[in-house]
Structure 1
Amino acid sequence: MKAIKLKYIVVAAASVLMMSCSDFLEPESISTFDTNYIYSNVDDARKGVNAVYSHFGQDAFRSRLSNNMAGNTDIEHQSGWTNSGDRYQIWNLDALESNRDLDIVWTYAYRAIRDANISIEGLRASGKLESSDPVEARTMNHLLGEAITLKAYWYSILAFYFGDVPYVNEAPVAGGEFLLPKEDRNVILAGVIQDMIEVEEKMMWADETPFGIEQVTREYTLGMIARIALQRGGYYLKPDLTLARESDYLDYYQIAKDYTAKLIALKDRELPADYRQVFLNQSKFISPVNSEILFEVPFALGNGDVAWNIGITVEGGPTAAHSFGSGNNYMAIPPTYYFSFDTLDVRRDVTCALYKINSSFEKEFVNNRTNISQGKWSRAFLENPPGASSAKGTGINWPMMRYADVLLMYAEAENELNGPSGEAQEALKRVRRRAFSDDLWTEKVDEYVDEVSVSKESFFEAIVDERAWEFGGEMIRKYELIRWGNYSQKMEETVEGLKKMADDAFNGTGNLPDYMYWKVNESGQFVLLNPNTKVVAPPDDSWNQVPFLLSMHDETLQYSEWITKDWANYINGPQPGVVRYIFPIPTSAISNSQGTLTNDGYEF
């Protein structure tokens, strides 16, 4: 069971927001209290800030932004061309203004920003930030940091999905200006970065707070300063479908370096040796502080979609022989990613699951042969099965940032500023050491890093690769490819790589497994005979044969359609070689703006 039950009291400007979303929240009405009263004391101020978190419990985040909308990339993908439904339009980059998924993301992003602004204004007006009681002053300043950081998260997301958007910095009041025009995304990102910089030193570390990593703490805020600084310093899509980068981009790489370095200096920690346990902890409801996870969204039992639409497939239902329920995987891992790993890298078999769990509670090879799923989460890892007919609402937390990310952001920023210095190399080595047993460190860590450090360019490409291997299935790759400006390039490389694998398997010229052989051994373990290479035949008839790379060949079309169509609009969209990842502002927002907002540019 979850170790801590944290209640969120969900407060809006003049009324109570609607519903609970996490361990943090089970709503309690305080609608009779005004804002001045709420932020006059620590307990009610906590409830006010909790309102900002509540929006993580809506579909806008728990299924859409956390995973569903964050494909397609070179490491996670889905077939958007097979259906005209809302999420398919997003996967295929042809979403309409009427798209309901975009509407709920826009709506709940601005609701979260509204509630953050209410908290920010209430806390600043309370006089408690300078309280003579040091505990009260510190707590109130920390609450301010939480609200500011959550607001920054939502603006980062809005910039990635919609580009320039209205920049709201005041709580709603009667007679206030609600019909704001679009603001330059660079102005917004610069603003939220500065807001976090001004507050982070007065925030608490996770080990000083009652709820640890299940709330925003100083660690996460420092990490978010760096993450959004890299977004601000990276490439972005302009309305004429060209990629741009501001002339001051190195200033933001410097910010990213400074604030990752600050976190490393003030609150360094060793990466946990067991990579698998980092994610297994979430399915076991274990949330250690001063460890890998800096912040995870704390879903309550009965809420959250982790291991329902992302993770290892589990076939459940009322006739199943188990009580874990049903879970699917919306984002398949392409074989090019699976085979990009060093075969001795422990992260591969944690990240890439080649098995599913059937209704008899037995493991078998994945459906559709190459439909590899994210292995980091599974409802079958839960200690208390949620019921045979259960599906959504596993209560498994979602990781928002890990310490490995901080180390790799530091390495990337330092390399951009100064090349592959010793400090940049050591940060990369720290991440790679966990990926290999220590007897392999000389070859797989030291010699590898020496080899990729011959130039700034080669070290950057190593960072691109390392982030893929480290964060597969965590659905942050899309945002990285956007800011690096290599989104379309990586999609084209993926498609060409898949085609070559299919050709080699069909022609018998490759060394990778055209067939895979699997079985469940006497100990009940799922075993692959040849996860890395082709074999002529299994040693005995106890092995099941499944076409693997050979299944990507099509007798009529040459290649399975998902290979040629899943990434087609990412390679040859309205502007070939440029991914049109920006989506139209939803119809409801356009209508409510009374002419202030329009969908201009991007060939909408």
Structure 2
Amino acid sequence: MKIKHIIIAVIAGMSFSCDDFLEPESISTFDTNYIYSNVDDARKGVNAIYANFGQDAFRSRLSNNMAGNTDIEHQSGWTSSSDRYQIWDLNALETNRDLEIVWTYAYRSIRDANISIEGLRASGKLESTDVAEAKTMNHLLGEAVTLKAYWYSILVYYFGDVPYVNEAPKAGLEFNLPKEDRNVILSGVIEDMIEVEEKMLWADQTPYGIEQVTREYTLGMIARIALQRGGYYLQPDLSQTRSSDYLEYYQVAKNYTEKLMQLKDRALPSDYRQVFLNQSKFISPVNADVLFEVPFALGNGDVAWNIGITVEGGPTAAHSFGSGNNYMAIPPTYYFSFDTLDTRRDVTCALYKINTNFEKEFVNGRTNIAQGKWSRSFLENPPGASSAKGTGINWPMMRYADVLLMFAEAENELYGPTAAAQEALKRVRRRAFSDDLWGTRVDAYVADISASKESFFEAIVDERAWEFGGEMIRKYELIRWGNYAEKMEETVEGLKEMADEAFNGTGNLPDYMYWKVNESGQFVLLNPNTRVVAPPDDTWNQVPFLLSMHSETTQYQEWITKDWANYYNGPNPGVARYIFPIPSTAINNSQGTLTNDGYGF
């Protein structure tokens, strides 16, 4: 049985619920000592932490919705005052229900992790003379520690300094804790993972493979959070800073990515599309690219419902795949940033949708390019004409390509573009191009951008965009790099330039695109890369593309001028105010311990 079939249900008697901030409503009727006295029940105890991934806090919000806007994904926030729009516009209120849900389930997950951590450490089974039992129990401890680290990383990104809870709830504890410095929190969870990772199991040693936290993912998370700790962050006065000891954390990132590369290296699968198609086919290979993916059971998970290629369904549709939309469109600046021979572009950027006749046609909104890595139309068993949510498609949390690029980034920051840094970057780029192009697109390209530490860093910024488009991690990277506002303004200026050139007829990019479905039933674009004066015959459908970004009344479509406006021209122009207020329910329940001060709130 795969783990995805058992973790979304709350384990009876082994999870806790809470209404007040961090305070349990009821205590389990099972004795914790009993639960963690044996492998089977301990497994169920740790599963309670995973169960929270099945809540809206993660499956629709953190996994994708709340991770826009960036230079490679966008959504309009200014068109409504409802919760998700407030977040997209960086203008959320304390009463924002989405933020409250994320805060609540983050701390529930941390609480459940602390229960497991304490239970496992007190069990005596970590030192069991039964080798198999000791290995399993130590691995379970690593899972709990790593999941706790994930949720603290997220809380710090969204709220800055937050309460740091390191004990399971029990009578006599103080539940209303004050905020802790974000650097203390991140340093703490990094050290916790370092302490446990060597006794964890690799994915090919576990029953659930990449559908559970394994040593690969923990090593990757040590590096990812180390880069967060060593990166830039927003202060209450809306200035950006980084800690004076930031290079120590780049060293940690280098050490632990290198450790994974030495102990459990693997070739990146040659077929980039298949990496993501696997999720829609419910295939989860070990020792491949994906290190951990959240395992959604059928009836759970929003992948290919609110992110992915649009599918128009419903009871009158001629197909049974149901309906799915794409909330995070890809801006044309990102689409045209790709080398036209980069195979990742057409996997990541879909210029088509599926209509009710189960036919492909050009995307709605002309420039509303979809996230092409997932689609409910890829499912082998259609979930039903009226289905929408609950596709069961897993969500990738980290890939080995990420490890290679984190290594390259950390190595460059510490020592410049060394041969090792260059080779890690090359390994990622080789998959993007056919091998007959490696001489120019890989070797010559990397040699050129390795002229300086600065140019190599900018190449890493670009490569991560091309490699991870649609996976919704870009926001966190821009934050730690300190260039969030810069990239947003750069995107807007790029879109304006494209709109002007299309309107004036001075550009080489497609002002119109031409498409058709050929005799073989394939969706075909005549000019995905360049402007053409006219199609060769009348079988082609003409659609305004970059020309559609021009407006006769406002010069540019308002989504260009408003979607990213608060990201570079907000309360402190030139700095993105990405920190949100702590939810009012948490403030009220803290009995005066927590307040929203600073950040312009």
What is the TM-score when the length of structure 2 is the normalising length?
A: 0.97
Q: Does 1:394 align with 2:362?
A: no
Give a deviation string over 1:303-334, Cα, whole Å, max 9, x none: 00000000000000000000000000000000
When the two chains are superposed, the root-mean-square deviation of aligned CA atoms in Å is 1.3
2:571 corresponds to which letter in structure 1? Answer: P
1:70 matched residue in structure 2: 67
1:137 matched residue in structure 2: 134
Name which of structure 1's ranges 500-509 and 4-13 shifts more when overlaid on structure 2: 4-13
d(CA) in 2 for partners of 1:13, 1:320 = 43
Alignment of 1:255-404 (within 5 A): 255-404=252-401
1:213 matched residue in structure 2: 210
d(CA) in 1 for partners of 2:558, 2:312 = 26
Q: Does 1:10 align with 2:7?
A: no
- What is the deviation of 1:33? 2.1
Give a deviation string over 1:141-169, Cα, whole Å, max 9, x none: 00000000000000000000000000000
* One of 536, 539, 557 as aligned partner of 2:536: 539
d(CA) in 1 for partners of 2:97, 2:71 = 26
Alignment of 1:159-174 (within 5 A): 159-174=156-171
d(CA) in 1 for partners of 2:4, 2:197 = 26
Asked if the contact 2:139–2:199 (Cα under 8 Å) also holds between the matched residues in 1, the reply is yes
2:181 matched residue in structure 1: 184
Give a deviation string over 1:483-506, Cα, whole Å, max 9, x none: 000000000000000000000000
Give a deviation string over 1:204-258, Cα, whole Å, max 9, x none: 0000000000000000000000000000000000000000100000000000000
- What is the deviation of 1:7? 2.3
* One of 76, 79, 86 as aligned partner of 2:76: 79
Asked if the contact 1:186–1:232 (Cα under 8 Å) also holds between the matched residues in 2, the reply is yes
1:348 corresponds to which letter in structure 2? Answer: R
Alignment of 1:216-235 (within 5 A): 216-235=213-232
d(CA) in 2 for partners of 1:420, 1:428 = 10
Task: Provide the secondary structure at the position in 2 that maps to 1:519.
Answer: strand
2:397 corresponds to which letter in structure 1? Answer: M
Asked if the contact 1:13–1:118 (Cα under 8 Å) also holds between the matched residues in 2, the reply is no
Task: Provide the secondary structure at the position in 2 that maps to 1:345.
Answer: coil
Task: Provide the secondary structure at the position in 2 that maps to 1:356.
Answer: strand
Q: Where does the alignment leave 5 or more consecutive residues of structure 2 unmatched?
A: 19-26
Q: Does 1:484 align with 2:481?
A: yes
Q: Give the 3 Å change call, closer, same or farther, for CA 97–188 of structure 1 in structure 2.
A: same
d(CA) in 2 for partners of 1:559, 1:320 = 36
Task: Provide the secondary structure at the position in 1 that maps to 2:579.
Answer: coil
Q: Does 1:590 align with 2:584?
A: no
d(CA) in 1 for partners of 2:523, 2:100 = 42
Q: Give the 3 Å change call, closer, same or farther, for CA 473–179 of structure 1 in structure 2.
A: same
Give a deviation string over 1:97-156, Cα, whole Å, max 9, x none: 000000000000000000000000000000000001111111000000000000000000
2:525 matched residue in structure 1: 528
- What is the deviation of 1:571? 1.1
Asked if the contact 2:14–2:30 (Cα under 8 Å) also holds between the matched residues in 1, the reply is no
Asked if the contact 1:3–1:286 (Cα under 8 Å) also holds between the matched residues in 2, the reply is no
d(CA) in 2 for partners of 1:424, 1:165 = 35
- What is the deviation of 1:195? 0.1
- What is the deviation of 1:337? 0.1
1:35 matched residue in structure 2: 32
Task: Provide the secondary structure at the position in 2 that maps to 1:80.
Answer: coil
Q: Give the 3 Å change call, closer, same or farther, for CA 188–12 of structure 1 in structure 2.
A: farther
Asked if the contact 2:3–2:295 (Cα under 8 Å) also holds between the matched residues in 1, the reply is no
1:23 matched residue in structure 2: none
d(CA) in 2 for partners of 1:585, 1:17 = 20
Q: Does 1:200 align with 2:197?
A: yes
Give a deviation string over 1:63-111, Cα, whole Å, max 9, x none: 0000000000000000000001100000000000000000000000000
Task: Provide the secondary structure at the position in 2 that maps to 1:326.
Answer: coil
Task: Provide the secondary structure at the position in 2 that maps to 1:81.
Answer: coil
1:177 corresponds to which letter in structure 2? Answer: E
Give a deviation string over 1:458-510, Cα, whole Å, max 9, x none: 00000000000000000000000000000000000000000000000000000
2:23 matched residue in structure 1: none
What is the TM-score when the length of structure 1 is the normalising length?
A: 0.97
Asked if the contact 1:6–1:211 (Cα under 8 Å) also holds between the matched residues in 2, the reply is no
Q: Give the 3 Å change call, closer, same or farther, for CA 13–176 of structure 1 in structure 2.
A: farther
- What is the deviation of 1:175? 1.7
2:503 matched residue in structure 1: 506
Asked if the contact 2:13–2:29 (Cα under 8 Å) also holds between the matched residues in 1, the reply is no
Asked if the contact 1:570–1:578 (Cα under 8 Å) also holds between the matched residues in 2, the reply is yes
d(CA) in 1 for partners of 2:33, 2:13 = 11
- What is the deviation of 1:574? 0.1
Asked if the contact 2:66–2:88 (Cα under 8 Å) also holds between the matched residues in 1, the reply is yes
1:561 matched residue in structure 2: 558
Task: Provide the secondary structure at the position in 2 that maps to 1:516.
Answer: strand
d(CA) in 2 for partners of 1:74, 1:372 = 13
1:27 matched residue in structure 2: none
1:24 matched residue in structure 2: none
* One of 550, 565, 575 as aligned partner of 1:578: 575
d(CA) in 2 for partners of 1:565, 1:75 = 16
1:149 corresponds to which letter in structure 2? Answer: T
**Which 4+ stretches in 1 moved above 4 angstroms?**
2-6, 11-18
Asked if the contact 1:3–1:285 (Cα under 8 Å) also holds between the matched residues in 2, the reply is no
d(CA) in 2 for partners of 1:285, 1:569 = 39
d(CA) in 1 for partners of 2:444, 2:62 = 38
d(CA) in 1 for partners of 2:289, 2:478 = 23
Asked if the contact 1:299–1:396 (Cα under 8 Å) also holds between the matched residues in 2, the reply is yes
2:41 corresponds to which letter in structure 1? Answer: D
Give a deviation string over 1:322-365, Cα, whole Å, max 9, x none: 00000000000000000000000000000000000001110000
Asked if the contact 1:237–1:244 (Cα under 8 Å) also holds between the matched residues in 2, the reply is yes
1:232 corresponds to which letter in structure 2? Answer: R
- What is the deviation of 1:174? 1.2
Give a deviation string over 1:536-593, Cα, whole Å, max 9, x none: 1000000000000000000010000000000000011000000000000001000000
Asked if the contact 1:13–1:172 (Cα under 8 Å) also holds between the matched residues in 2, the reply is no
Task: Provide the secondary structure at the position in 1 that maps to 2:297.
Answer: coil
d(CA) in 2 for partners of 1:381, 1:11 = 32
- What is the deviation of 1:194? 0.2
1:127 matched residue in structure 2: 124
Task: Provide the secondary structure at the position in 2 that maps to 1:306.
Answer: coil
Give a deviation string over 1:2-41, Cα, whole Å, max 9, x none: 96665237359875569xxxxxxxxxxx954210000000
d(CA) in 2 for partners of 1:155, 1:296 = 18
d(CA) in 2 for partners of 1:409, 1:32 = 44
1:307 corresponds to which letter in structure 2? Answer: A
- What is the deviation of 1:519? 0.2
* One of 235, 242, 250 as aligned partner of 1:253: 250
Count of matched residue positions in the alignment of Structure 1 and Structure 2:
592
Task: Provide the secondary structure at the position in 2 that maps to 1:82.
Answer: coil
1:60 corresponds to which letter in structure 2? Answer: A
d(CA) in 1 for partners of 2:145, 2:192 = 7
Task: Provide the secondary structure at the position in 2 that maps to 1:517.
Answer: strand
d(CA) in 2 for partners of 1:103, 1:33 = 29
Q: Where does the alignment leave 5 or more consecutive residues of structure 1 unmatched?
A: 19-29
Task: Provide the secondary structure at the position in 1 that maps to 2:78.
Answer: helix
Q: Give the 3 Å change call, closer, same or farther, for CA 577–301 of structure 1 in structure 2.
A: same
Percent identity reads 85
d(CA) in 1 for partners of 2:400, 2:15 = 38
Q: Does 1:413 align with 2:410?
A: yes
